[in-house]
Every structure is written in C-alpha cells, then in structure tokens.
Amino acid sequence: MILRTLIVSLLSIGAVAASTTTSANEPIQPIKAAAPKNIGMVELGKMLFFDPRLSKSGFISCNSCHNLSMGGTDNIKTSIGHKWQQGPINAPTVLNSSMMLAQFWDGRAKDLKEQAGGPIANPGEMAFTHELTVDVLRSMPQYRARFKQVFGSDQVNIGMVTDAIAAFEETLVTPDSRFDKWLKGDKKALNQTELDGYKLFKDNGCTSCHYGTAVGGTSFQKMGVREPYKTSSKEEGRIGVTGKAADRFVFKVPTLRNVELTYPYFHDGAAETLEEAVDVMGRIQLGRDFSKEENAKIVAFLKTLTGKQPDFKLPILPPSTNETPRPKPFG
C-alpha cells in the first residue's frame, strides 16, 4: 500500500513537472485566475463600471465601449461618444488589461487607475467632469455607505472612484483557454491544424511582439515595419505622448487573448475579420504573404486563445435622489 501511494505521488509530481516544463519553454504563458484582495472594492468598482450616470447623458457607462458580453469591447470600428460623436480610435478590450505595460493605444495612462478617469471627463466620450461625477455619487446614500465601507469615509473623491473601477477591472481576466490547457500539459486540447498554426505563428516571428501571458500588450511597436500601413485614421500613436518623431505610428501591441471576440482589428478598426488582420500583419510587419492555408491555420490557433469570460451577477445600482444632478443627454 505504501509503495502504491509512493508511485502515485511520483507520477503526479512528474506530470506537474512536465506541464511546467512545457509552459516554461513557450513564449506564451497561461493566465492565472483572478485573486482579488478586497472584494468590497471590487463590488463597488463593478457598480461604477456599469453606472451610466457617470456620463453627462446618463446613457454611457464604461461597459458601453467595453462590453463584457462582447469580449470587453464594442465590436465597432470606432466607439460612439456623447451626442453620437464618432470616436477617433478603436476601443481596446478591457479583458486582461491589467497585464498591459500601459493603457490606451498610445500608452498615455500608466495604469488602470489613471485610465479610468480619462473617458469620464473626455468631451468626446462620457463628456462629464470629475467634480460632477463626485456630486452624483455623493447624492445617493447607498453609494456613500459603500464608499465608507470600502475606504473608511463617505467623502467621495475621484481617486476613490478610479481606485474602485481599477480594482474591478483587475478581476477581468480570462483563464482556461484551450491553448492554456495545452500549455499546462493537456495535449488533446489542440488539434493538428491549431498546432500547425501555432508553429507558423512562432516560426514567422509573430511572438517577437505577441508574447507573455497576454500574448501582447507588453511593448510598443511601429505599425508598418516592412511596408507602410495605409489608413485614413489621423491617429499617430506614441508621438502624441513623447513628441518624438521616431514614435510616429508606434502603438501599444494589442493582446491576442480572446481575439476572435474583439473584432474589428487594429487601432483604426480597419480589419473586419481575423483572416484580414493576419494577412495585413503578415505583409506590413513580417514581409510575409501567407497562403490561404497558412492563414487559416494561424486563425485556427488564434481562436484557441479565447478563455473563460467574466461571469457574474449584474449589479443593482442605487436609485437617484432628489439631489442627484440630472443627466443632459441632448445638451
């Protein structure tokens, strides 16, 4: 009996070791499940993420452009802002965004907290002010009670608001994709076409930019290395942050996690399908014209990166009071 137990233990250790070795030898690493430290703050952040009263119109919330039922984005070329203004750039997914080296395509926000305050006060997005945001939240006793529970004070300020939203967004990770299961040692998780696609992905240099846990998001790269990228978009990337000419058309590399859900693609939303995105990136970044068969294999691999989507009960938001500033959807 003791010998049998020892053998089973050794086999288990061997399986774990083999799984670890497989993962360690690959340029992509599996996603770990979220482990929030402050559940109360996460719940408050969830409420704020879904509350449209943080916008001037009372109609737009964080979830409007980063829809958690649609891969954490809005699946349109560029987002719609206050009074149906057309946004200048494609909305990046909020899923796994905590793994990014910075936020926004140009990296102008260093982290999720800094990013969370941007759209609220952007006249082309939620078109509110931080001061009015605080006034709205302070006007509702249920919100004040939540803030006091989490922060020890009901004197709400914008720093508390962005802290809470960021805490919620940090939980929006997508573990357990089929590719992650393969990385962990389940060799039946991928079929041969998908494995061939992953080999093409690596052999052609895609992993020089799309690597790590998020399969991207950890570097800034020029859009159009081997040939210029033709676009009607006026967005020029990092140059708007650094002022350096060398940063023109340099953008944060997007994550490829859940990429089959986050269409259309690129900062201008110009690629409507994964097949088109793979074709364009092959040409302008790698100098490669993928065959139809090669393209299909790479796309098959990319679809294995879809993980378990956030699944939770929608928050019930506090009712406005007589003192709550009213929305101005047409003003």
What domains sit in the chain, N to C, each tagged with a CATH number?
A: 39-170 (1.10.760.10), 178-303 (1.10.760.10)
Residue 15 has pLDDT above 90, yes or no: no
DSSP E strands in the chain: the ranges are 220-222, 250-252
Helix boundaries (H) for 152-228: 158-169, 178-183, 192-203
Query: Is 293 exposed, middle or buried, given 0-12, 13-18 or 19+ CB atoms closer than 10 A?
Result: exposed
CB-based contacts of 206, cutoff 8 Å, min separation 6:
281, 286, 298
What is the average pLDDT across 5-14?
48
Regarding predicted confidence, which is higher, 321 or 23? 321
Q: pLDDT confidence of 2, banded at 50, 70, 90? A: low
What pLDDT is recorded for position 218? 97
pLDDT tens string 153-183: 999 999 999 999 999 999 999 999 999 999 9
What pLDDT is recorded for position 331? 77
| Annotation marks residue 276 as catalytic | no
User: What pTM was estimated for this model as a whole?
Assistant: 0.92
pLDDT tens string 150-160: 999 999 999 99
Write the single-letter amino acid at 162.
T
pLDDT tens string 18-65: 445 567 799 999 999 999 999 999 999 999 999 999 999 999 999 999
Residue 1 has pLDDT above 60, yes or no: no
Angle at 159 between CA 93 and CA 128, to 5 degrees: 65
> What does the DSSP assignment read for 121-150?
H-TTTT---HHHHHHHHHT-HHHHHHHHHH
Give the SS3 label for residue 171: coil
Residue 203 has pLDDT above 90, yes or no: yes
What pLDDT is recorded for position 22? 61
Q: Which of 125, 169, 194, 235 is catalytic?
A: 125
What pLDDT is recorded for position 4? 54
What is the average pLDDT across 228-241?
97
Residue-averaged pLDDT of the chain: 94
Question: Are 46 and 311 in contact, with CB atoms under 8 Å apart?
Answer: no
What pLDDT is recorded for position 24? 72
